[in-house]
Structure 1
Amino acid sequence: MNVNLTPQLEELVRAKVATGMYNSASEVVRDALRLMAQHDQVREVKFEQLHQEIKLGLNSGETSTWDAANFKQQARQRQKVGNKPA
């Protein structure tokens, strides 16, 4: 299999081999592909977790309209009650 890389990626592969951590460009590419596979697995797990959280939310019960003005008013009332001197 032949693979064409951009000049920047070719330089990256050469630099990795030059560090001595890899014996060849093929080793660098194999390691990169293993890392990509792991990254894809992690992404899939996160996607599944998100999907489950969405299902939980959708099945959590009836929805209600949120009124920002009413919410602020209630918060201010609670703040007033909490700030009364003892």
Structure 2
Amino acid sequence: MHISLTPELETRVKQKVASGYYNNASEVIRDALRFWEKNEELVQHMKLEMLKERLSIGAKQAKQGKFVAQSVSEIVSEVRNA
């Protein structure tokens, strides 16, 4: 597989190899991809945790009678028209 990088990215890859931490450009790219994948997993986990927290808050508010009787489509329509 061959890839094309912008001159700036190519310079950064070469700098990483020159630092001695990596033996070649392939190692830099593999490490960058592993980091990217881990970052994606972390972001998805954080989004899920935030959603769970918001649902928990909403459930508590609903039990206290603090809610608006609207359908999801009505709320979406209001947001789009705002």
Aligned pairs for 1:3-18 within 5 A = 3-18=3-18
Stretches of 4+ aligned residues off by more than 2 angstroms: none
Partner Cα distance (1:50, 1:30) in 2: 30
Bigger Rg, which one: 1
The residue aligned with 1:19 is 19
Cα RMSD, aligned residues only: 1.2
Partner Cα distance (2:3, 2:66) in 1: 53
TM-score between both structures, scaled by the size of structure 2: 0.73
Q: How many aligned residue pairs are there?
A: 64
Partner Cα distance (2:38, 2:50) in 1: 18
Pairwise CA distance, 1:8 = 0.4
Amino acid in structure 2 at the alignment position of 1:42: L
Unaligned 5+ segments in structure 2 are 68-82
The residue aligned with 2:60 is 60
Identical-pair percentage: 36
Partner Cα distance (2:25, 2:17) in 1: 7
Amino acid in structure 2 at the alignment position of 1:22: Y
Partner Cα distance (1:17, 1:48) in 2: 37
The residue aligned with 2:38 is 38
Aligned pairs for 1:71-82 within 5 A = none
TM-score between both structures, scaled by the size of structure 1: 0.70
